[in-house]
Amino acid sequence: MNGSKILKLFDANIGDAVRITHLDINGVMRRRLLDLGFVPGAIVKVLRKSPLGDPIAFRVSQTTIALRKEESTKIEGELVSYE
Amino acid sequence: MNDNLRIALAGNPNTGKSTLFNLLTGLKQHTGNWAGKTVDLMAGTFTFKGISYEMIDLPGTYSLFSNSKDEEVARDYIVFEKPDITLVVLDATALERNLNLALQVMEITEKVVICINLIDESEKMGISINEKILMKRLGVPVIKISARNKIGIPMLLDTIDRLIKGNIPCNPYKMTYDEETEMKIEQLIPFVQNITGEQLSARWLSLRLIDGDKSLLKEIEQRLAKKDAI
C-alpha cells in the first residue's frame, strides 16, 4: 500500500480514504469547508460520484457532503487506504 | 416582558436539539433526520426547582459565521438577544467538528453549557468520552446525555440550576490567535467599546471586523439605529 501518495480529492476513486493535508481555498468558502469538517488531518472517504463525475459525495466526520469540482480540485491529501 | 430565564439551544444539524427541546418542554415539535429542519426559532417553557425557563430551539448550524440565513438567525439570537444560558448540543459521534461550533459560541458568550448528546450511540461505536477533561480544558460544564433515551437529563437540569444560581463558575476557554491578530484585536477593542459599550463582547466584535464580516456590521447598524430611534 502506498501511504504517502499525494492527490487531490477530485482525483480520488470511490472507496479511497484520504487524509487532508492542504486546502488551497481562501475566504468564506475556506471557512465553510473547515466548518463542515474538511480540516487538515481529517480523513475523508469518497462515497460516490455523479454520472458526469461532478459533484462527488464525501464522508467527513460522520456526515455525507457533496463538493463541486471547483472545491475538490483545491483540496489535497494523502491516500490512506483504498478499496 | 416575561421574567423567564432564557436558554438557547445551539448545535450542528441533526444532533438532537429538537429531541432535547421536546423532552424538556413537553412540546411536540417535529423532529426529523434531515438538515435544515429547524429554520425559525421555536420557543417552549419548563419549570425546574421553582424556576421558569424559556427554551429557544435555534436552527442547526456548523458555524456562526453567516454563510446562510440559519447561521445568521442562530448567531443573531446569541449575540443580540443574549440568552441567560446557551446550551450547545454536540454529537458524541462527531465531536471534532461539533467542538468547532462550541468554541465559536464560547467566544461570544460566557454562560455556556455543553451537552454531549447521542452518548449511547457513540458508546456503541466504541467511543468513550472523558467529560471531566473536556470540562477542565473548556472551562464550562460538560454533560453527557442521550435525549432520546433520557439519559443524563437530571444532571443537565441540575447543572443549569446551579449555573443560574452562581454555584458553578463558567470561564470559557478563549482562543488565542497569532501575534499579529492579537495585536490588531488590542488596537480595535477601545474603538469597538466606544460604539457598542458593554452590551457586546468587544473582543469578539473586533475579530469579526478583522475577518470583514459585513452581514454582522449591517445587523449591528440596524439594531443601533432602532435603539436610537427609541
Any idea what the CATH number is for the domain that residue B101 is in? 3.40.50.300
Same domain, B25 and B112: yes
Whether B144 and B225 map to the same domain: the answer is no
User: Does residue B170 lie within any of the structural domains?
Assistant: no
Q: Which of B42 and B138 is assigned the larger pLDDT?
A: B138
The pLDDT of residue B157: 97
- Decide if B171 is inside a domain: no
Range in A52-56, B67-71, B145-149, B155-159 with the lowest mean pLDDT: B67-71
Residue B67 has pLDDT above 80, yes or no: no
Q: Looking at the structure, do residues B16 and B97 belong to the same domain, yes or no? A: yes
Distance from CA of A32 to the nearest CA of B (A): 7
Same domain (yes/no): B136, B101: yes
Cβ neighbors of B65 (< 8 A, separation 6 or more) are A28, A31, A35, B71, B75, B104, B211, B213
More confident residue, A65 or B41: A65
Locate the DSSP E strands across B34-183: 42-48, 51-57, 85-91, 112-117, 142-144
The pLDDT value given to residue B1: 43
User: Of B137, B164, B191, which closes a domain?
Assistant: B164
The whole-number pLDDT of residue B35 equals 52
Closest-CA residue to B26 (of B59, B55, B58, B60): B55
Domain, as residue range, for B131:
5-164
Q: Which residues contact B21 (CB under 8 A, 6 or more apart)?
A: B9, B27, B29, B42, B44, B55, B57
Are residues B13 and B86 part of one domain?
Answer: yes
Considering the domain architecture, whether residues B21 and B46 belong to the same structural domain is answered as yes
**If pLDDT is split at 50, 70 and 90, which confidence band does B226 have?**
confident
**Which chain A residues have a beta carbon less than 8 Å from that of B100?**
34-35
Residues B153 and B188 in one domain: no
Least confident range of B33-47, B53-67, B83-97, B165-179: B33-47
Q: Look at residue B46 and tell me if it is in a domain.
A: yes
Q: Specify the pTM.
A: 0.86
So what's the ipTM on this one?
0.74
Q: Do residues B204 and B147 share a domain?
A: no
A31 to B67: CB separation less than 8 angstroms, yes or no: yes
Of B67, B94, B101, the CB nearest to A63: B94
Q: Whole-angstrom Cα distance, residue A19 to residue B31? A: 34
Domain C-terminal end among B133, B164, B195 = B164
Asked if B50 and B137 sit in the same domain, the reply is yes
- Calculate what percentage of chain B has a pLDDT beyond 90: 67
**Least-confidence region, from A16-25, B16-25, B35-44, B112-121:** B35-44
User: Chain A residues with CB inside 8 Å of B96's CB?
Assistant: 37, 39, 42, 61
Summarize the confidence of residues B198-211 as an average pLDDT.
90
* Residue B33 belongs to a domain: yes
Length of chain A: 83
Residue indicated by cell numbers 474603538? B191
Q: List alpha helices for chain A, DSSP H.
A: 27-36, 69-72
Question: How far is CA A73 from each of CA A61, A70, B59, rounded to the nearest angstrom?
Answer: 20, 6, 31
B203, part of any domain:
yes
Higher pLDDT pick, A12 / B225? A12
Q: Which of A28, A61, A63 sits opposite B67 (nearest CB)?
A: A28
Question: Are the C-beta atoms of residues B26 and B44 closer than 8 Å to each other?
Answer: yes
Tell me, yes or no, whether B93 and B132 share the same domain.
yes
Q: Say if residue B31 is in the same domain as residue B143.
A: yes
Residue B149 lies in a domain: yes
Question: Domains along chain A?
Answer: 6-81 (2.30.30.90)
Residues of B in contact with A61 (CB under 8 A): 94, 96-97
Average pLDDT, rounded, for chain A? 92
Higher local confidence (pLDDT), B197 or B23 = B23
Same domain, B55 and B123: yes
| pLDDT tens per residue across span B1-51 | 457 899 999 999 989 999 999 999 988 766 655 555 555 678 899 999 999
Q: Calculate mean pLDDT across residues A47-59.
A: 94
* Total domain count, chain B: 2
State the average pLDDT for chain B. 89
- Phi first, then psi: give them for residue B7, nearest 5 degrees: -115, 120
User: Which of A21-35, A51-65, B37-51 is least confident?
Assistant: B37-51
pLDDT at A16 over 60: yes
Pairing of strands B85-91, B5-11: parallel
Q: Is B33 on the interface with A (CB under 8 A)?
A: no
